[in-house]
Amino acid sequence: MKLKANIASMEAYVPGKTIPGAVKLSSNENPLGPSPKAVKAIREALAGIHRYPDGASTTLKTSLSRLWDVPAEGILVANGSDEVFTLLAAAWIGPGENAAGTRETFSQYRYAVRLFGAGMHEISLKDGSYDLNGMLDIIDRDTRMVFLCNPNNPTGTYRTHRQIADFLDRVPPDVIVVLDEAYADFADEADFPDSRALLNQYPNLVVARTFSKLYGLAGLRVGYAIGNPELISGTDRASMPFNVNNLAQAAALAALEDNEHREATLKLVQTEKAFFSTELTSRGIFHYPTQANFVCFRLDTEIADLWETIAGRGIAIRDLKSFGLPRMARYTFGTRKNNRRLLEILDEVNT
């Protein structure tokens, strides 16, 4: 037996990890947990798990179409936003073709493209942010897709509405631009992109969102994409039947309606972002300004060498060696108690 070359060349995904006794703040999960309304909806849906789910996620799509003010035909619901990227690659890219992206970002873009035998053209971030002009330079006649993560994972940096619009103006209209906004719910800068407006202007744009972060449903895997109906319909052809289970659909629908949980999460993130960033600055620890629910900071030692020591003192952070940033860590904002504890640990180990 011979494994396909494109599969053999893939690197395994490196998830955020933890150890017993440590608070896991390494995977950008919601520190407040799931929406109580979502938990209630799951309990109520349990009696129906002997039935197949609605393969079209009809009710959830209807709710999302109201939220975004787009037709339901322009929404694709998937088993996490990871599946969104895989379905896009399955439908629109193949051997001999390529996608453009950046190296220091979410690895699942690369995975999705290589899974279908296509190539990935990548450049590095510029000062921690996407080098949009540089990305235009690597688009060639075989490029079918471009991936942008905004705010970027793992740096938390962002490009503005004007910058993204200028980029889209210069991308060939037959190249699909995938704008991953997994963390956009946490952005509070006035010039952060209005993706709703961009979708109306650029038919080759797809925006990906997730229920894993703000809504606290990472364990259920629900994500979605928004784009022009023709593009979404074509992508949906690659989808497996019943890809989003009953409990996930019920929970996502309920979470959308839980304004209290959503606002509590946003308040915690914004408050703790300001606190933690100020504390890092006072210690002279470099960090990128963030528009996400996490911060990316640098220490003098490779984080992999410190990870067990830090986790053993009570807080699990994300080592970014797999992103090509060995001396940088990504930390999900937790409660004030969690954040104070990590600062105490950093004072102990960063000497």
CATH of the domain at 76: 3.40.640.10
Whether residues 205 and 287 share a domain: the answer is no
Q: pLDDT of 293-343, one tens digit each?
A: 999 999 999 999 999 999 999 999 999 999 999 999 999 999 999 999 999
Which of 228, 256, 284 is where one domain is finished? 256
Query: What was the pLDDT predicted at 20?
Result: 92
- 87 and 70 housed in the same domain: yes
Exposure b/e, 214-242, CB count within 10 A at least 16 = b? bbbbbebbbbbbbbbeebbebbbeebeee
Q: Which of 201, 232, 256 is the last residue of a domain?
A: 256
Query: Is 63 a member of any domain?
Result: yes
pLDDT recorded at residue 44: 96
Structural domain for 251, as ranges: 51-256
Structure tokens at 134: 């540089």
167 and 193 in a common domain: yes
Asked which of 223, 239, 256 is the last residue of a domain, the reply is 256
Buried-state track 60-90, b at ≥16 Cβ within 10 A, e below 16: bbebbbeebebebebbbbbbbbbbbbbbbbb
State the pLDDT at residue 207.
Answer: 98
Q: What is the CATH number of the domain that holds 281?
A: 3.90.1150.10
**Do 136 and 191 fall within a single domain?**
yes
Residues of the chain with pLDDT below 70 are 351
Report pLDDT for 214: 97
pTM attached to this predicted model: 0.95
Please tell me whether residues 195 and 141 are part of one structural domain. yes
The two three-digit tokens of residue 150, written as one number: 């905004």
Tell me if 94 is assigned to some domain: yes
Domain membership flag for residue 170: yes
What's the angle, vertex CA 208, arms to CA 60 and CA 240, rounded to 5? 60
Same domain, 170 and 315: no
12 Cβ contact partners less than 8 Å away, ≥ 6 residues apart: none
> Can you tell me which residue has the tokens 């659909």?
249
Cα separation, 122 vs 114, whole angstroms:
13
Residue-level pLDDT at 154: 97
pLDDT at residue 284 in the model: 96
Please indicate, yes or no, whether residues 25 and 170 belong to a single structural domain of this protein: no
Give residue 5's pLDDT. Answer: 86
Q: How many domains does the chain have?
A: 2
Residues 165-202 pLDDT 10s: 999 999 999 999 999 999 999 999 999 999 999 999 99
The alpha carbon dihedral of 321, 323, 325, 329 has a sign of negative
The answer to whether residues 122 and 149 belong to one domain is yes
